[in-house]
Amino acid sequence: MSRIANRRGAACFFVASVLLLCAAARSAPNYKEILLSSDRPEDEKALDAVRKPDEVLAFYGVKRGDKVADLFAAQGYYTAILSHLVGKDGVVYSASQPIRPELRERAKQPGMANVRLIDGPFYRLALPQDGSLDFVLIHLDYHEGKPEVRVAMNRRVFGALKHGGVYGVVDHSAKAGEAEAVAKKLHRIDKNLVIQEVTGVGFRLEKEGEMLRRPDDTRDFSTIKIRNKSDRFVLKFVKP
Protein backbone atom coordinates (compact mmCIF):
# COMPACT_ATOMS: atom_id res chain seq x y z
CA MET A 1 0.00 0.00 0.00
CA SER A 2 2.84 2.37 0.85
CA ARG A 3 4.45 1.71 -2.55
CA ILE A 4 1.24 2.71 -4.32
CA ALA A 5 0.98 5.85 -2.20
CA ASN A 6 4.60 6.72 -2.94
CA ARG A 7 4.07 6.24 -6.66
CA ARG A 8 0.95 8.38 -6.61
CA GLY A 9 2.79 11.04 -4.64
CA ALA A 10 5.68 11.03 -7.11
CA ALA A 11 3.26 11.22 -10.04
CA CYS A 12 1.42 14.17 -8.48
CA PHE A 13 4.71 15.94 -7.81
CA PHE A 14 5.79 15.40 -11.45
CA VAL A 15 2.48 16.73 -12.82
CA ALA A 16 2.60 19.74 -10.50
CA SER A 17 6.17 20.50 -11.57
CA VAL A 18 5.22 20.30 -15.26
CA LEU A 19 2.24 22.62 -14.69
CA LEU A 20 4.44 25.14 -12.88
CA LEU A 21 7.00 25.08 -15.69
CA CYS A 22 4.26 25.57 -18.28
CA ALA A 23 2.80 28.47 -16.33
CA ALA A 24 6.23 30.08 -16.06
CA ALA A 25 6.78 29.66 -19.79
CA ARG A 26 3.42 31.28 -20.53
CA SER A 27 4.12 34.22 -18.24
CA ALA A 28 7.61 34.92 -19.63
CA PRO A 29 7.43 38.07 -21.77
CA ASN A 30 7.98 37.85 -25.51
CA TYR A 31 10.60 40.59 -25.66
CA LYS A 32 11.04 40.45 -29.44
CA GLU A 33 7.31 40.79 -30.07
CA ILE A 34 7.17 43.98 -27.98
CA LEU A 35 9.67 45.62 -30.33
CA LEU A 36 7.26 45.14 -33.25
CA SER A 37 4.64 47.45 -31.76
CA SER A 38 3.16 49.80 -34.37
CA ASP A 39 3.37 52.63 -31.81
CA ARG A 40 7.18 52.69 -32.04
CA PRO A 41 8.62 55.10 -34.63
CA GLU A 42 10.76 53.63 -37.39
CA ASP A 43 13.87 55.61 -36.38
CA GLU A 44 13.78 53.89 -32.97
CA LYS A 45 13.22 50.46 -34.49
CA ALA A 46 16.31 51.09 -36.61
CA LEU A 47 18.39 51.30 -33.41
CA ASP A 48 17.27 47.90 -32.12
CA ALA A 49 19.91 45.95 -34.05
CA VAL A 50 22.68 47.76 -32.15
CA ARG A 51 20.97 48.28 -28.79
CA LYS A 52 19.34 44.80 -28.62
CA PRO A 53 16.70 45.85 -26.08
CA ASP A 54 15.02 42.43 -26.19
CA GLU A 55 18.24 40.74 -25.02
CA VAL A 56 19.03 43.48 -22.51
CA LEU A 57 15.62 43.37 -20.83
CA ALA A 58 15.59 39.57 -20.83
CA PHE A 59 19.00 39.69 -19.12
CA TYR A 60 17.59 42.00 -16.44
CA GLY A 61 14.44 39.87 -16.07
CA VAL A 62 11.90 42.69 -16.41
CA LYS A 63 8.34 41.34 -16.51
CA ARG A 64 4.69 42.35 -16.73
CA GLY A 65 3.37 44.19 -13.70
CA ASP A 66 6.78 45.49 -12.60
CA LYS A 67 7.36 49.00 -11.28
CA VAL A 68 10.35 50.38 -13.17
CA ALA A 69 12.24 53.58 -13.98
CA ASP A 70 14.05 54.87 -17.07
CA LEU A 71 16.69 57.47 -16.20
CA PHE A 72 17.90 60.10 -18.73
CA ALA A 73 14.92 59.05 -20.84
CA ALA A 74 15.47 61.63 -23.64
CA GLN A 75 12.87 60.96 -26.36
CA GLY A 76 11.65 57.85 -24.57
CA TYR A 77 13.24 54.95 -26.48
CA TYR A 78 13.32 52.68 -23.42
CA THR A 79 10.37 54.37 -21.71
CA ALA A 80 8.07 53.24 -24.54
CA ILE A 81 9.45 49.68 -24.58
CA LEU A 82 9.18 49.36 -20.80
CA SER A 83 5.64 50.80 -20.85
CA HIS A 84 4.54 48.08 -23.25
CA LEU A 85 6.45 45.40 -21.37
CA VAL A 86 5.16 46.04 -17.83
CA GLY A 87 1.62 46.65 -19.07
CA LYS A 88 -1.35 48.33 -17.40
CA ASP A 89 -0.60 46.76 -14.02
CA GLY A 90 2.94 48.15 -14.02
CA VAL A 91 4.39 51.64 -13.70
CA VAL A 92 7.22 53.40 -15.58
CA TYR A 93 8.89 56.43 -14.02
CA SER A 94 10.53 58.32 -16.88
CA ALA A 95 13.15 60.80 -15.65
CA SER A 96 14.82 63.61 -17.59
CA GLN A 97 16.17 67.09 -16.96
CA PRO A 98 14.46 68.76 -18.62
CA ILE A 99 11.70 66.56 -20.05
CA ARG A 100 11.72 66.90 -23.83
CA PRO A 101 8.51 68.20 -25.46
CA GLU A 102 8.32 65.13 -27.71
CA LEU A 103 8.35 62.84 -24.66
CA ARG A 104 5.58 64.87 -23.01
CA GLU A 105 3.46 64.43 -26.13
CA ARG A 106 4.34 60.77 -26.42
CA ALA A 107 3.33 60.10 -22.81
CA LYS A 108 -0.19 61.35 -23.62
CA GLN A 109 -0.82 58.32 -25.83
CA PRO A 110 -3.43 55.93 -24.36
CA GLY A 111 -0.93 53.07 -24.55
CA MET A 112 1.46 54.91 -22.23
CA ALA A 113 -1.00 55.67 -19.44
CA ASN A 114 1.30 53.79 -17.04
CA VAL A 115 4.13 56.35 -17.53
CA ARG A 116 4.91 58.93 -14.84
CA LEU A 117 7.21 61.76 -15.98
CA ILE A 118 9.86 62.98 -13.54
CA ASP A 119 11.65 66.31 -13.99
CA GLY A 120 14.43 67.78 -11.86
CA PRO A 121 18.11 67.34 -10.99
CA PHE A 122 19.45 63.82 -10.69
CA TYR A 123 21.25 64.42 -7.40
CA ARG A 124 17.79 64.57 -5.82
CA LEU A 125 16.08 62.20 -8.23
CA ALA A 126 12.35 62.23 -7.52
CA LEU A 127 11.80 58.49 -7.42
CA PRO A 128 9.65 57.11 -4.58
CA GLN A 129 11.89 56.22 -1.63
CA ASP A 130 9.68 53.47 -0.25
CA GLY A 131 11.56 50.50 -1.70
CA SER A 132 8.72 49.65 -4.11
CA LEU A 133 10.47 49.47 -7.51
CA ASP A 134 11.56 46.28 -9.25
CA PHE A 135 13.96 47.71 -11.82
CA VAL A 136 15.79 50.93 -12.69
CA LEU A 137 17.69 51.45 -15.96
CA ILE A 138 20.18 54.09 -17.02
CA HIS A 139 21.09 53.57 -20.66
CA LEU A 140 24.18 55.20 -22.23
CA ASP A 141 24.04 58.22 -19.92
CA TYR A 142 25.64 57.28 -16.61
CA HIS A 143 28.75 59.13 -17.78
CA GLU A 144 26.79 62.39 -18.22
CA GLY A 145 26.63 63.18 -14.51
CA LYS A 146 29.47 64.56 -12.42
CA PRO A 147 30.85 62.09 -9.84
CA GLU A 148 29.02 63.69 -6.91
CA VAL A 149 25.76 63.72 -8.89
CA ARG A 150 26.15 60.06 -9.86
CA VAL A 151 26.72 58.97 -6.26
CA ALA A 152 23.71 60.95 -5.01
CA MET A 153 21.61 59.48 -7.83
CA ASN A 154 22.75 55.96 -6.97
CA ARG A 155 21.65 56.47 -3.37
CA ARG A 156 18.21 57.58 -4.56
CA VAL A 157 17.97 54.54 -6.81
CA PHE A 158 18.94 52.31 -3.87
CA GLY A 159 16.15 53.83 -1.78
CA ALA A 160 13.62 53.34 -4.60
CA LEU A 161 14.29 49.64 -5.23
CA LYS A 162 12.87 46.77 -3.21
CA HIS A 163 15.21 44.14 -1.75
CA GLY A 164 16.24 41.98 -4.69
CA GLY A 165 15.45 44.83 -7.10
CA VAL A 166 17.74 45.38 -10.08
CA TYR A 167 19.70 48.46 -11.12
CA GLY A 168 20.84 48.20 -14.74
CA VAL A 169 23.68 50.36 -16.05
CA VAL A 170 24.52 50.29 -19.76
CA ASP A 171 27.19 52.64 -21.09
CA HIS A 172 30.00 53.14 -23.60
CA SER A 173 33.27 51.57 -22.48
CA ALA A 174 36.33 53.71 -21.85
CA LYS A 175 39.80 52.28 -21.50
CA ALA A 176 40.48 50.78 -18.09
CA GLY A 177 41.79 53.44 -15.72
CA GLU A 178 40.82 56.27 -18.08
CA ALA A 179 40.46 59.61 -16.30
CA GLU A 180 37.11 61.28 -15.66
CA ALA A 181 37.83 63.76 -18.47
CA VAL A 182 36.92 61.19 -21.16
CA ALA A 183 33.31 61.25 -19.96
CA LYS A 184 32.76 64.66 -21.56
CA LYS A 185 35.32 64.38 -24.33
CA LEU A 186 34.52 60.88 -25.62
CA HIS A 187 31.18 60.23 -23.85
CA ARG A 188 32.53 57.04 -22.31
CA ILE A 189 33.30 55.80 -18.80
CA ASP A 190 35.52 53.17 -17.21
CA LYS A 191 33.38 50.18 -16.23
CA ASN A 192 35.39 49.64 -13.06
CA LEU A 193 34.61 53.19 -11.92
CA VAL A 194 30.88 52.53 -12.36
CA ILE A 195 31.16 49.32 -10.34
CA GLN A 196 33.06 51.14 -7.61
CA GLU A 197 30.49 53.95 -7.38
CA VAL A 198 27.39 51.76 -7.48
CA THR A 199 28.59 49.10 -5.05
CA GLY A 200 29.81 51.94 -2.84
CA VAL A 201 26.21 52.88 -1.95
CA GLY A 202 25.23 49.31 -1.07
CA PHE A 203 24.48 47.47 -4.33
CA ARG A 204 25.94 44.07 -5.19
CA LEU A 205 27.19 43.40 -8.72
CA GLU A 206 25.45 40.20 -9.77
CA LYS A 207 26.66 39.73 -13.34
CA GLU A 208 27.60 41.37 -16.62
CA GLY A 209 25.89 40.88 -19.97
CA GLU A 210 27.97 40.34 -23.10
CA MET A 211 25.34 41.09 -25.75
CA LEU A 212 26.64 44.61 -26.55
CA ARG A 213 30.36 43.88 -26.57
CA ARG A 214 32.46 45.13 -29.51
CA PRO A 215 36.04 43.82 -29.17
CA ASP A 216 37.08 45.85 -32.23
CA ASP A 217 36.31 49.15 -30.47
CA THR A 218 39.57 51.08 -29.94
CA ARG A 219 37.83 53.18 -27.26
CA ASP A 220 39.59 56.36 -28.39
CA PHE A 221 36.82 58.06 -30.39
CA SER A 222 33.79 60.07 -29.37
CA THR A 223 30.59 58.04 -29.31
CA ILE A 224 28.72 61.19 -30.35
CA LYS A 225 30.80 61.74 -33.49
CA ILE A 226 30.96 58.05 -34.46
CA ARG A 227 27.70 56.38 -33.49
CA ASN A 228 26.78 52.73 -32.98
CA LYS A 229 30.38 51.46 -33.12
CA SER A 230 31.22 51.42 -29.42
CA ASP A 231 31.78 48.57 -27.01
CA ARG A 232 29.07 48.77 -24.33
CA PHE A 233 29.04 47.16 -20.90
CA VAL A 234 25.79 45.86 -19.42
CA LEU A 235 25.93 45.65 -15.63
CA LYS A 236 23.32 44.09 -13.35
CA PHE A 237 23.39 45.35 -9.78
CA VAL A 238 21.07 43.99 -7.10
CA LYS A 239 19.88 45.59 -3.84
CA PRO A 240 20.58 43.02 -1.09
pLDDT in tens, 137-192: 999 999 999 999 999 999 999 999 999 999 999 999 999 998 888 999 999 999 99
- Please give the CATH number for the structural domain made up of 30-238: 3.40.50.150
- Of the pLDDT bands very low, low, confident and very high (cuts 50, 70, 90), residue 16 is very low
Contacts (Cβ under 8 Å, ≥6 apart) of 39: 80, 84, 109, 111
Closest residue by Cα to residue 99 from 63, 70, 128, 124: 70
CB neighbours (10 Å) of residue 24? Answer: 9
Give pLDDT, residue 177: 92
pTM of full prediction above 0.75: yes
What DSSP letter does each residue of 187-210 carry, written as one string?
A: S-B-HHHHHHHHHTTT-EEEEEE-
Q: Please give the Cα distance from 31 to 36 (Å, whole number).
A: 9
Amino acid residing at 5: A
How is the chain split into domains, by residue range?
30-238
Give pLDDT, residue 8: 55
Closest residue by Cα to residue 162 from 239, 214, 218: 239
